[in-house]
Structure 1
Amino acid sequence: MSFQFLNPKGDARFKDRHTTKVDETRLVYEEGMEADIGVIGLPSSKSSISLSLAAEAPKTIRAALRSFSTYSGEKNHDFADVRWLDFGDVEVHPTDLKQTLQRLNQSVSEMLDTNSCNRYIMLGGDHGVSFPSISAFHKKYGRIGVIQWDAHHDLRNLEDGGRTNGTPFRSLIESGVLLGKDLVQVGIRDYSNAKAYSDYAKEKGVKVYSMGDVDLLGANSIVSDEVKRLSEHVDMIYLSVDMDAVDQAFAPGCPAVGPGGLTSRELLGSVAQAAAHPKVKAMDIVEVDPSKDVRDITSRLAAHVMMRFMYEGSR
């Protein structure tokens, strides 16, 4: 039976014939399909050192995409032809964190092995997902450069709690996946880190830009210079966006919110700056906790970060 106003297959929503919403450009992965962007959810947050339901973020970020259109008025260009291929969410282990990391790594590797897309977005989860994800890209591409937007170094020791959302970049460096000089950290915030980890970053040659540096030099300028530097040495560049790099006023839905961070415009502008470079092939977005959010402010900002990567890199 057909219904005139009832749609059993979906929710009721207004449709303007002249408007394409970002979620309408989504394709659900089937073997043999190809698209511009591959998207995978890494819904793991049990390794968070602070209480977190960031595992719920992939679905809220995807849902936020229905609020935005594919048309850029500033560029006078409609990106409705940019398709993203959704590989779904990884089924994490309910109790075994080591098994979860293995599943995340294997799933990202399997996505890459399909050769379905040119660029990829990983939706976390807490920042611990960056370790298995970047490891998978290293195996596929070779030498990786990483630009990390973050209030924290995430270079904590492994003895006090194992692999957590505070250890991904130490894990990558010590496992030989990432060279310290190939890691750039943007937005590191005062009174949010220990001296030992600042010293470790210096020892390993990590390029660290504090919020004071951002104030002085500008986020766009920093990212532009570092993408250019990295591109001369690495095989690909991976962007890792921890949403707590953003000031709590613009991203209240993070487990580790704080004042004095980036504005939403600084984050969006610098991500767009990086995404335009051809060696930038992947990005993860992490540390969005929908249970702490207000009117989906943080998920909506994360959706815009996703769109900057999708559309700035397509031109």
Structure 2
Amino acid sequence: MKHLQQPEWSWRAGEGDFVHQWVKPLNDETEIPDMILYGAPISRSSISVSGASLYPMEFRKLWKGFSTYNLDEDLDLSGYAVRDAGDVTMHTTNIALSHQRIEETTSELVRTFDLATTCLIGGDHSVTACAVRGVKEAFPSERVGILQLDTHLDVRDPAELGPANGTPIRQLIDGGTVRGEDVVNIGLHGYFNAAPLVTYAKEKGIRMVTLRKARELGVAQCVVNELSLLAKKVDRVYVTIDMDVLDIAVAPGVPASTPGGMSAEELFKSLLAIGQHKAVRHIDFVCLDPTRDTATNATVKTGVYAWLEFITGRVLLQRGK
């Protein structure tokens, strides 16, 4: 695939019980993997200074610290075939060209591996608009829904900011890729979305579930309920996890994390539930900046853990649990 390159960091390990030994490179397009993993190392499109372009590399580096066995679920993930397709090649200065490459790569991957779940590791949140457009290009007759876990609506005006990380949902709605009524955002809270953005969301029919409301039911159960409603309207669901949905106390490596956000456990339980829903076909994890993290890589470790919880859900789905 023309825009994919070997990741900046990759393990050269044999067989074993750890994640870096389990995830294999994608070497054969005739394979039928369960998940295709790929990175989009871009953060020049971030409104504020961000090193999120480094996350795909740091994410892979920390695999060595995680085994494939989930003690909580008494479940070994090693039978679930994850193939790492590498990273989309980013242009040094041309953001639009980099975004086009993400879109084209996503379209090619989801067409080629139409039975696999695709997982994109960002990068800032601008990558979501590119990836969803790629999915729609591959399946133009299908209706795509979005489940977004985020502190922000991300509906700022690209006419003012360009295709930045604060604009992906608006890009997709205004561009006709998705319908506003097919977007669900869980995790909104506090004082981090200006009134005009909320007005836009209401006008477009975006389903906004505040974190306070979600907690009344239980965040994971709220996610299950909203996914079930969304799945009745659409053909496939794209999930986007902005890591700034986490509380700032547990996500120091996320520049836009805020007080009052999700706990790590709320995110983990939500991803376990998301993974078990058959309508979910694509997921991304975005906006984690390793340069802001602690010396112990606390936030990157949380990101790897979150990804593994989603995969645990996929394995449970396969087993019909």
TM-score (norm 1): 0.92
Paired residue for 2:293? 293
> What 5-or-longer segments of structure 1 have no aligned partner?
1-9
- CA-to-partner distance for each residue in 1:135-170, whole Å, 9 max, x for gaps? 111222421111111111000012221110000000
Are 1:38 and 2:39 matched, yes or no?
no
Identity of aligned residues (%): 32
Indicate whether 1:20 and 2:21 are aligned: no
Tell me which amino acid in the other structure corresponds to 1:27. K
Displacement of 1:12 in angstroms is: 10
Aligned length: 303
Alpha-carbon distance in 1 for matches of 2:19, 2:167: 33
**TM-score, length-normalised on structure 2?**
0.90
**For residue 5 of structure 1, what is the aligned residue in structure 2?**
none
Say whether 1:125 aligns with 2:123. Answer: yes
SS at match of 1:92: coil
User: Is the CA contact (8 Å cut-off) linking 1:187 and 1:262 kept in structure 2?
Assistant: yes
**What is the alpha-carbon distance in structure 1 between the residues aligned to residue 71 and residue 161 of structure 2?**
48
Render the CA deviation track for 1:75-126: whole Å, top value 9, x for unaligned.
2221111121111001111111111110110111122232275211100000
Indicate if the aligned counterparts of 2:46 and 2:165 stay in contact, CA closer than 8 A.
Answer: yes
CA separation in 1, counterparts of 2:309 and 2:257?
Answer: 23
Shift in CA distance, 171/82, structure 1 to aligned 2, threshold 3 Å: same
Closer, same or farther: CA 67–194 of 1 in aligned 2, 3 Å: same
Q: Per-residue deviation at 1:33? A: 2.6
Q: Would the aligned equivalents of 2:241 and 2:283 in 1 still touch at CA under 8 Å?
A: yes
Q: CA deviation at 1:257?
A: 2.2
Q: Counterparts of 1:196 and 1:153 in 2: how far apart (Å)?
A: 11
Alignment partner, residue 206 of structure 2: 206
Question: What's the C-alpha RMSD, in Å, of the aligned pairs?
Answer: 1.8
Tell me the alpha carbon deviations over residues 20-72 of structure 1, each in whole angstroms, 9 at most, x when there is no partner: 11121111112323311100001111010111010000011112222111112
Deviation at 1:173, TM superposition (A): 0.3
C-alpha deviation, 1:300, in angstroms: 1.0
How is 1:97-246 mapped onto 2 (pairs within 5 angstroms)?
97-115=95-113, 118-141=116-139, 142-246=142-246
* TM superposition outliers: structure 1 runs of 4+ over 6 Å: 10-13
User: 203-212 or 124-133, which moves further after superposition?
Assistant: 203-212
